[in-house]
């Protein structure tokens, strides 16, 4: 069979009527996992796919998929799982998995390492800013081609909040579904109670502001199960959980739209400290309060300095020889270019 024949057969299989004579639509979704380096993204993703594999370091951008049938003899739904490695060092790769063709069925899972509070805000803000900018660019392009779908995607994220919700005018939902996972809760749980409270309240504010779901997890099977509930809803359309846990002394679990600014409370700082901070928005105020308590690492510190091309586990003789040759050619080009610039006469005017 040709590729075209296989494609036709796949479409016919998906559109085959079920036992009741109804056409069965195959669910196909895509999810991008991103977050701190060594934050546990791969472990969480493998558990969602029920794979008993030993997690390996993620190189750049990796892809896998899962398939599930909603019932016996039904076509299997498909979930495409992408994982961005390198923390915030490979932001330009975000544009590869998120495209105009799949934006309608795309979601993001942001995994933040609770054991590294000094990296938390910078990692979260940088990754979400770049992702949001890329998604908005796609939606703008889509709006010129199919304005109805573009409007549907934008409006969908507001549906988590009822119009009579007191925070309806105060939040700014992320343009596509977002789940924020606080990983390594087992380490986080050993922190001072006041530190845990500050981090928990801040992540509750960030999640609520973005219209995201929030869950804390660790290697504990019980906590991983809660994360799987949220991710399986995005990936395979499983029912949403309506349970809520906002107790800062316990792992948080807050589905999108079930929190409020009044329940979260003000930023965890004294009135005098807040009075000294110049902030134009609640977001800026929460950021300044959090970073005063946990001075952030610079963006350069968060870059992945390890060169994966030097990692022996990825060694390929022919590729490495060709790369070495190209590196030599590049260095020669730089030297020649430098000489040519030095030999050029510039008009003093």
Domains contained in the chain, CATH given: 26-293 (3.40.50.300)
CB 223 within 8 A of CB 181: no
- Cα→Cα distances 142→101, 113, 128, 195, 344, Å: 9, 34, 20, 43, 48
> What is the model's pLDDT at position 310?
67
Residue 133: CB atoms within 10 A of its CB come to: 12
- What is the band of 126 on the pLDDT scale with cuts at 50, 70, 90? very high
Confidence tier at 347 by pLDDT (50, 70, 90): very low
pLDDT exceeds cutoff 90 at 169: no
Q: Return the number of other C-beta atoms located less than 10 Å from residue 168's C-beta.
A: 11
How would DSSP label each residue in 278-326? --SSHHHHHHHHHHHHSPPPPTTTTS--S-GGG-GGG--HHHHHHHHHH
- Mean local confidence (pLDDT), 52-58: 76
* Gap between the Cα atoms of 253 and 245, Å rounded: 5
pLDDT in tens, 241-276: 788 999 999 999 999 989 999 999 998 888 777 877
pTM to 2 decimal places = 0.78
* Averaged pLDDT for residues 273-292: 87
Q: How many percent of the chain have pLDDT more than 90? A: 45
* Residue 15, number of CB atoms within 10 A of its CB: 12
Residue-wise pLDDT for 302-316, tens only, equals 554 455 666 666 678
- Report the candidate in 31, 57, 19 with the shortest Cα–Cα distance to residue 177: 31
Distance separating alpha carbons of residues 109 and 44, to the nearest angstrom: 10
Kindly report which listed range (96-100, 138-142, 163-167) carries the lowest average pLDDT score: 163-167
Candidates 198, 207, 229, 224; CA nearest to 110 is: 207
Q: What is the pLDDT of residue 186?
A: 94
User: Distance between CA 87 and CA 311 in Å, rounded?
Assistant: 18
State residue 69's pLDDT score. 73
Mean pLDDT of 119-133: 95
Q: Residue 346 has what pLDDT?
A: 47
On the question of pLDDT at 16 being above 80, the answer is: no
Please state the rounded mean pLDDT for residues 46-59: 79
- Report pLDDT for 72: 66
Which of these, 159, 118, 263, lies nearest to 205 by C-alpha position?
A: 263
How far the first Cα of the chain sits from its last, in Å, is 69
Averaged pLDDT score across all residues of the chain: 84
Q: Which of 89-93, 127-131, 326-330, 338-342 comes out lowest in average pLDDT?
A: 338-342
What is the band of 183 on the pLDDT scale with cuts at 50, 70, 90?
Answer: very high
Crossing angle of helices 221-236 and 41-48, in 10° steps, is: 70
Looking at residues 16-41, what average pLDDT do you find? Answer: 74
Q: Is 55 exposed, middle or buried (0-12, 13-18, 19+ CB in 10 A)?
A: middle
Residue 305: its pLDDT value, please?
47
All residues at 6 or more sequence positions from 317 whose CB lies less than 8 Å from its CB, including other chains = none
> Band of the pLDDT at 10, cuts 50, 70, 90?
low
333 against 325, higher pLDDT: 325
CA distance 157 to 173: 6
pLDDT tens, 226-238? 888 899 888 888 8
What is the chain's length? 349
Within its chain, how far is the Cα of 24 from the centroid?
Answer: 30
| Amino acid 132: pLDDT | 96
pLDDT at 22 over 80: no
* 77 vs 18: CA distance, rounded Å: 15
pLDDT at 114 over 90: yes
Q: In what order do the strands lie in the sheet with 106-113?
A: 61-69, 76-84, 28-35, 106-113, 178-183, 213-216, 253-254
Asked if residue 103 has pLDDT above 80, the reply is: yes
In this predicted structure, the answer to whether residue 301 has a pLDDT above a threshold of 60 is no
Query: Average pLDDT in the 107-123 region?
Result: 95
- The helix/strand/coil state of 38 is coil
pLDDT of residue 25: 58
Q: Which of 248, 259, 236 is nearest to 182 (CA)?
A: 248
Q: Contact, 29 vs 236, CB < 8 A?
A: yes
- The β-bridge relationship of strands 213-216 and 253-254 is antiparallel
């Amino acid at each position: 069979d040709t590729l075209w024949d296989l494609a036709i057969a796949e479409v016919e299989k998906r559109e085959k009527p079920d036992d009741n004579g109804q056409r069965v639509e195959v669910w196909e979704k895509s999810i991008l996992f991103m977050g701190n380096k060594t934050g546990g993204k791969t472990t969480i993703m493998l558990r969602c796919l029920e794979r008993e594999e030993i997690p390996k370091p993620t190189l750049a951008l990796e892809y896998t998929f899962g398939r599930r049938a909603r019932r016996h003899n039904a076509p299997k739904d498909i979930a495409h799982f992408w994982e961005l490695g390198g923390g915030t060092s490979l932001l330009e790769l975000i544009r590869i998995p998120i495209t105009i063709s799949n934006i309608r069925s795309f979601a993001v899972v942001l995994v933040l390492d609770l054991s590294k509070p000094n990296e938390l805000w910078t990692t979260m803000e940088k990754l979400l800013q770049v992702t949001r900018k890329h998604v908005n660019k796609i939606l703008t392009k889509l709006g010129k081609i199919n304005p109805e779908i573009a409007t549907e995607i934008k409006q969908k994220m507001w549906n988590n909040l009822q119009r009579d919700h007191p925070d309806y005018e105060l939040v700014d939902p992320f343009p596509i579904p977002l789940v924020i996972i606080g990983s390594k809760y087992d380490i986080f749980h050993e922190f001072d109670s006041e530190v845990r409270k500050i981090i928990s309240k801040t992540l509750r504010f960030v999640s609520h502001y973005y219209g995201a779901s929030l869950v804390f997890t660790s290697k504990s099977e019980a906590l991983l199960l809660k994360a799987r509930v949220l991710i399986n809803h995005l990936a395979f359309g499983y029912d949403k959980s309506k349970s809520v846990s906002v107790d800062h002394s316990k792992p948080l679990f807050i589905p999108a739209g079930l929190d409020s600014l009044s329940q979260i409370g003000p930023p965890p700082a004294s009135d005098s400290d807040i009075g000294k901070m110049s902030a134009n928005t609640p977001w800026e105020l929460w950021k300044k309060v959090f970073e005063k308590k946990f001075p952030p690492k610079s963006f350069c510190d968060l870059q992945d300095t390890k060169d994966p091309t030097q990692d022996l586990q990825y060694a390929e003789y022919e590729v490495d020889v060709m790369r070495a040759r190209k590196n030599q050619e590049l260095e020669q080009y730089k030297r020649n270019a430098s000489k040519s610039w030095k030999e050029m006469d510039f008009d003093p005017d």
